[in-house]
Chain A
Amino acid sequence: QKEVEQNSGPLSVPEGAIASLNCTYSDRGSQSFFWYRQYSGKSPELIMFIYSNGDKEDGRFTAQLNKASQYVSLLIRDSQPSDSATYLCAGGNTGFQKLVFGTGTRLLVSP
């Protein structure tokens, strides 16, 4: 059973702080990882993807991948109330990239 696990939260951080969202996966064959943001009642929106070990930065977001530890994280710097949402981690194999999603972490950023 391929699994992607996330803490359901909620993770509460004050405005301006760094939010750290974590994800572990069980399938060592997973090659690519995606972070999605989902506002209540909306469809998931892709934030970042990462294929290689290490860090990948895009604006206020940094994705981190450690394949040896089977661990993926998303850091959100200067968190804003508008970042309050559920963040979904997903992993995929090579080939046609069927994604396996975690259950998501709910982030609450307080003004």
Chain B
Amino acid sequence: SAVISQKPSRDICQRGTSLTIQCQVDSQVTMMFWYRQQPGQSLTLIATANQGSEATYESGFVIDKFPISRPNLTFSTLTVSNMSPEDSSIYLCSVEAPLKDGYTFGSGTRLTVV
């Protein structure tokens, strides 16, 4: 499976500020996926990021709040903007495995907004 390096692993942020999360993959991938996992909940897809085009956002998520960059086939960032305590979650990036035999997740970013 692809190896994903995600950082930061955790952060505590003040409300109203923004945090950018980075994901680096050890191989070229067409799509990268960003998920959110709120405390005690399952994973919810935020958006799908393609290289060279705008990200596709799921219902309930907007670009102004979660801008995404995808400058090349191995890297993506997710920014959580104008944060509030409700944004406290684990954020995960994911890619399809090279042999298309599953999806691999990064180690996650545990965000706490105070």
Contacts and interface: CB of A to CB of B under 8 A. Distances in A.
A35 to B, nearest CB: 10
Interface string A36-64: 00000111111001000000000000000
A90 B96 CA distance: 14
B31 A96 contact: yes
Given A43-B92, A46-B1, A99 B45 contact: yes
Given A88-B42, A97-B96, A104-B42, A46 B102 contact: yes
A25 interface: no
Interface residues of A, number: 19
Q: How large is the interface on B (under 10, 10 to 19, 20 to 34, 35 or more residues)?
A: 20 to 34
A45 B1 CA distance: 11
Contacts of A45: 105
A73 to B, nearest CB: 18
16 contacts: A41-B110, A43-B107, A43-B108, A44-B92, A44-B105, A45-B105, A46-B103, A46-B104, A90-B43, A98-B48, A99-B33, A99-B43, A99-B45, A101-B42, A103-B41, A103-B42
